[in-house]
Structures are given as C-alpha cells and as structure tokens.
Amino acid sequence: MSEVRQDPLTGRRVIIAEDRAGRPDEFDAAPARRIPIDCPFCAGSEHATPASLAVYPAQAAEAHISPDAHSNTRREGEHAGWQVRVVPNKFPATGEPGERWRPHSAAPHAGVHAAESLFKAASVCGSHEVIIESPDHVAGFSQLTPQQAKYTFVAYRDRMQAAADAGHAYAIVFKNVGAVAGASLQHAHSQLIALPFTPPEIETQVGNASRHHQLRGSRLLCEMTAQERKAGVRMVAQTDHFAAFCPFASRFAYEVWIAPRQPVAPYQQSSCGLLKELAALAQDVTQRLQTVLRNPAYNFVLHNAPFHLDKHVAAAQQWRLEIFPRITRTAGFEWGAGCFINPVLPERAARELREADIATEHRRPANAQTRRTMQP
C-alpha cells in the first residue's frame, strides 16, 4: 500500500510505495566505465590544480588550524604532509571572484521593448571550490582517516566563513561519490559553491522554520529531531550532540539526515570538537550504507542557513547534513511533478542501517563490485 508523507521542513510530499521495489527491472545498471587518468588530487600532483586556498597539515594542532583563507598564492612548503586541502574549481559554475552581481541589461528581442522583456539574466558572482579530503587515492568518506574526516568538516566551516566574509548570500557544500551521484573524479573530494542569491528550496525551508519558530518558539528541525529520537523507529545512530535518522518523508531509499540534538550556532561557527564528532558520525553512517547497500553511489549535502539573515529569522534556523544513496532512479514522474516516489519504507531502511554489522565490514574497498539498484 502506498502513502503520501509530507516533510515539515521542506514542505515536500513524498510517495512511499514499497510495492514498487518488487517489480521486474529489465535494465541492469552497469557500473560506469572508468577512463584512467592521472589523478590531479593525489599527493605529488599538486601542480595539476590551481593554488591552494587552504591547507590542513597532519601535524597541525587542533587549536592552530588557521589556514590563510584568502591567500590564492602557493606558499613555500604548503604541500608537505597535507591531509586536506582546498583549491578553486578549475571548471567553475560561478563567475570570477570580484565580478559584480548586477541585473543583466536585457538583450532586445524582436518586437519586444527591453523594459517589457520577460527574459532577465545576470552574471553569477560566487565561488566554486574543491575540498580534497585525502592525499591518498581513496573514494568513499568512510575510507578517510578520522583526522582527514574531521579536517574535511573543518574545511567546510572555514570556507563557509570565507564565503560569508566575501559577502555572498549563500554557500552550499555537497559531495558526490560514484559516477551515478555525479562524481567526475574518483578521488575523495567535496565542493562548495557560494552564490549571490539564496536558492528557492532554501528560501522555502527558511520560511517554514521561521513560521514554526513564531508559532511554537522552537527550531523546527530540533523539534523534528526530538520527535524522531522519541519515536526511535527511524533512528540510525546517535552521539552526544547529533542524531542520525531516516527522515519520515525520505525522498530516497535509505536517505539519512544528521542533525544536532540541541540548537547550535550556524555551521561556520562550529567548534573543532563538534565537527570531530560530526565527522565520526558521518563516517559511521556512510559505513552503514556501504555495508547494507554494497558500495552505493551517494551524495552529501550540508544545509546551512543563508549568511545575512535578520536575527529573528536566523534564530529559527538549524543546519543539517543530508546523505542520500543514489540507488533509485529519478524518472519522468519526479522531474515532471517535482515529487519523489520512494520504494523503501524509512522505518525499514533505518532498521537495516541500525542493525548493520559495520565492525566486520570496516573499510571495505570502494571498488567492491557488488551493488544493488532499485527503480521507483
């Protein structure tokens, strides 16, 4: 039996249709064919990337991680023993730093005065950065050392702060693992895109959280997390400060959110200690996904609030990390209706992930051949 569920934060409706998972699938999802290239992200190939924006060396004391966030010049010895480094994307989706966000003067259209034209454009002043998560050629997040995982989350924080300082409106951090999830290079990396505007989906979430805060005086995501912890059926794992759960209205099979258990500051103000705990939980969750789904492609998305909010609106916001495996295919219905069909009950997904025996599966090679594919 199918049911429609609504997510309180995003307002999204999702159709949970377990029966869909059992139907015949004539199309085998062949693994993507790899074309061997010299990996530009491995240690020793630093010359193949633009100069680092930030470097996190192995010997840095936790309290002394202070890369020169605004430096765009290669410094003497910066590559010695790095664990994580951040570079500008060589093929950016945004314009050059310093480019102005301005209304585009509408090109004249035949028979339409420029002032009446419906078609508007503007240059995208932002930044597009790559966070290289390890000097070694590993692919999955759970394959990083604990220090590399922690530095990755610290780098997100530092680069978000740099984006806020640069006056950008919003920055999103995301990670694509596997070709199906959008990765073009296998080496573990994530990306940050800073924008001069807040994307519509984020605006919706900010509005829903603000309305909830006005009505009930609490942060919507914190209340959702508290209810998930109380219900327990969708819980995957938890630590002192974070809960990992399959959200009630999961868009994707085995989707997991990691959310703070109590209200915390905007992500860019997080302490190293908190990020160490977050990184360990994210490694735990990706290891569970790897064990249960046999090395799936997946995405991470860090949903932080826009940078320059009114303080009353800001008080309603709470960041979270979404992790979603890409084992279901997004088809005509999803693209056409903007509404997802999920063939796996979130309660079932959570139980499998919770019960996964990750101790014996630890650090399964990322190129393991077995995989599981589903079509909604």
**Number of residue whose CB is nearest Zn ion:** 39
Tell me: does residue 189 bind Zn ion (CB under 5 A): no
- Residue 18: is it exposed, middle or buried by C-beta count within 10 angstroms (0-12/13-18/19+)? middle
Tell me: does residue 137 bind Zn ion (CB under 5 A): yes
User: Considering the complex, what minimum distance in angstroms separates the CB of residue 56 from Zn ion?
Assistant: 17
Tell me: does residue 229 bind Zn ion (CB under 5 A): no
Tell me: does residue 5 bind Zn ion (CB under 5 A): no
Give the SS3 label for residue 355.
helix
Residues 271/278, Cβ–Cβ less than 8 Å? no
Between 42 and 280, CB nearer to Zn ion? 42
User: Considering the complex, what minimum distance in angstroms separates the CB of residue 267 from Zn ion?
Assistant: 27
Give the Cα separation of 326 and 257 in Å (integer).
15
Tell me: does residue 241 bind Zn ion (CB under 5 A): no
Taking alpha carbons only, the member of 40, 14, 52, 68 closest to residue 330 is 14
Task: Find the part of the chain contacting Zn ion (CB under 5 A) among 92-100, 142-150, 163-171, 186-194.
Answer: 186-194
Task: Find the part of the chain contacting Zn ion (CB under 5 A) among 100-108, 129-137, 205-213, 364-372.
Answer: 129-137
Tell me: does residue 42 bind Zn ion (CB under 5 A): yes
User: Considering the complex, what minimum distance in angstroms separates the CB of residue 316 from Zn ion?
Assistant: 41
Give the Cα separation of 165 and 69 in Å (integer).
10
Between 139 and 356, CB nearer to Zn ion? 139
User: Considering the complex, what minimum distance in angstroms separates the CB of residue 30 from Zn ion?
Assistant: 24
Instruction: Tell me the HSE value of 194 on the side-chain side, using a 13 A CA sphere.
Output: 27
Task: Find the part of the chain contacting Zn ion (CB under 5 A) among 36-44, 60-68, 86-94, 149-157.
Answer: 36-44
Taking alpha carbons only, the member of 226, 145, 125 closest to residue 188 is 145
User: Considering the complex, what minimum distance in angstroms separates the CB of residue 186 from Zn ion?
Assistant: 7
User: Considering the complex, what minimum distance in angstroms separates the CB of residue 113 from Zn ion?
Assistant: 54
Binding string, residues 301-340; x marks residues near Zn ion by CB under 5 A: ----------------------------------------
User: Considering the complex, what minimum distance in angstroms separates the CB of residue 305 from Zn ion?
Assistant: 33
| H or E, element range at 169 | none
Between 39 and 58, CB nearer to Zn ion? 39
Task: Find the part of the chain contacting Zn ion (CB under 5 A) among 78-86, 132-140, 292-300, 306-314.
Answer: 132-140
Task: Find the part of the chain contacting Zn ion (CB under 5 A) among 32-40, 214-222, 232-240, 313-321.
Answer: 32-40
**Residue ranges in 338-357 that form contacts with Zn ion under rule CB under 5 A:** none
Tell me: does residue 41 bind Zn ion (CB under 5 A): yes
Give the Cα separation of 30 and 34 in Å (integer).
12
Among 39, 222, 226, 233, binds Zn ion (CB under 5 A): 39
Between 133 and 158, CB nearer to Zn ion? 133
Which tokens belong to 294?
A: 């046999």
Alpha carbon separation from 157 to 32, 58, 250 (Å, rounded): 32, 18, 26
Tell me: does residue 185 bind Zn ion (CB under 5 A): no
User: Considering the complex, what minimum distance in angstroms separates the CB of residue 42 from Zn ion?
Assistant: 3
Tell me: does residue 298 bind Zn ion (CB under 5 A): no
Alpha-carbon Rg for the chain in angstroms: 21
Report the amino acid identity of residue 341: I
Cα 212 to the center of its chain, rounded Å: 24
- Residue 232: is it exposed, middle or buried by C-beta count within 10 angstroms (0-12/13-18/19+)? exposed
Instruction: Write the CB contacts of 31 (distance below 8 Å, at least 6 apart in sequence).
Output: 369, 371
Residues 80/57, Cβ–Cβ less than 8 Å? yes
First to last CA, the chain: 14
Give the Cα separation of 177 and 192 in Å (integer).
15
User: Considering the complex, what minimum distance in angstroms separates the CB of residue 356 from Zn ion?
Assistant: 28
**Helices in 14-145 by DSSP H: which ranges?**
none
What is the contact surface with Zn ion in residues (CB under 5 A)? 39, 41-42, 137, 187
